[in-house]
């Protein structure tokens, strides 16, 4: 496990992509760590042959979570369609063209087939909380990635970002803090404590 910068990571991705037809990069980290920002920056610098594939497109819908009694735990490992996500990544490795769902945060719902891996996609930047999780069924992701990186941030900064995220969505201060320090940090702690070590780490502390 080696600490690197975003520029270092860009160079590593470019070098490895030159050696194979399609490179799958896992960008893992707790909620609020900066995974999406890093993935967007890398995709912009890598150009049109790179595509971001977010794990968030595999959230179970809210009606299903209500049936399971898990709506209050949304974002926890058990609130995702892990097997569907694993199946899709296997398709990405095996097939040239693969549609995938994304997540609309404002609508709080997934959008089927709104993303697309095409035949000329050389680099797939997969970003999500549980890409390195070592508990079933997430262990099915093992071996599907060519490069793994974890985005790290201090607990204090993570809490600050998560509160700000809920405030930006219109929650009052007390409720935003309760959501961030309750469910969100519980998911973050689980991810940190139960994941395999990545090949590289990248710190997004401000």
For every residue of 148-184, DSSP letters joined together read EEEEE--HHHHHHHHHHHHHHTT--HHHHHHHIIIII
Q: What is the CA radius of gyration of the chain?
A: 17
Q: What share of the chain is helix, strand, coil (3-state, %, to 5)?
A: 45, 25, 30
pLDDT digits (tens, 9 = 90+) for 86-104: 999 999 999 999 999 999 9
CATH of 2-154+195-203, one of 3.30.450.40, 3.40.50.300, 3.40.50.720, 3.20.19.10: 3.40.50.300
**Torsions phi, psi for 74 (to 5 deg):** -50, 130
Does pTM top 0.85 for this prediction?
yes
pLDDT of 123 over the 80 cut: yes
How confident is the model over 178-190, as a mean pLDDT? Answer: 88
pLDDT digits (tens, 9 = 90+) for 142-177: 899 999 999 999 889 988 998 888 888 888 888 888
Q: b or e along 113-134 (b: 16 or more beta carbons within 10 Å of the residue's beta carbon)?
A: eebebeeebbbbbbbbbbbbbe
């Amino acid at each position: 496990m080696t600490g690197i910068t975003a520029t270092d990571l860009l160079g590593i991705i470019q070098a490895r992509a030159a050696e194979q037809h399609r490179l799958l990069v896992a960008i893992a980290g707790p909620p609020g760590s900066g995974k999406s920002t890093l993935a967007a920056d890398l995709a912009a610098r890598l150009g049109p042959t790179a595509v971001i594939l977010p794990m968030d497109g595999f959230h179970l819908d809210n009606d299903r979570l209500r049936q399971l009694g898990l709506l209050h735990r949304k974002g926890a490992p058990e609130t995702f369609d892990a097997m569907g996500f694993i199946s899709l990544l296997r398709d990405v490795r095996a097939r040239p063209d693969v549609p995938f769902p994304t997540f609309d945060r404002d609508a709080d719902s997934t959008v089927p087939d709104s993303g697309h891996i095409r035949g000329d996609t050389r680099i797939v930047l997969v970003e999500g909380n549980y890409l390195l999780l070592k508990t079933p069924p997430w262990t099915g992701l093992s071996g599907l990635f060519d490069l793994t990186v974890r985005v790290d941030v201090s607990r204090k900064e993570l809490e600050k970002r998560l509160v700000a995220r809920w405030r930006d969505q219109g929650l009052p201060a007390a409720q935003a803090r309760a959501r961030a320090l309750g469910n969100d940090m519980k998911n973050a702690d689980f991810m940190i404590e139960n994941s395999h070590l990545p090949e590289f780490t990248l710190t997004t502390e401000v």
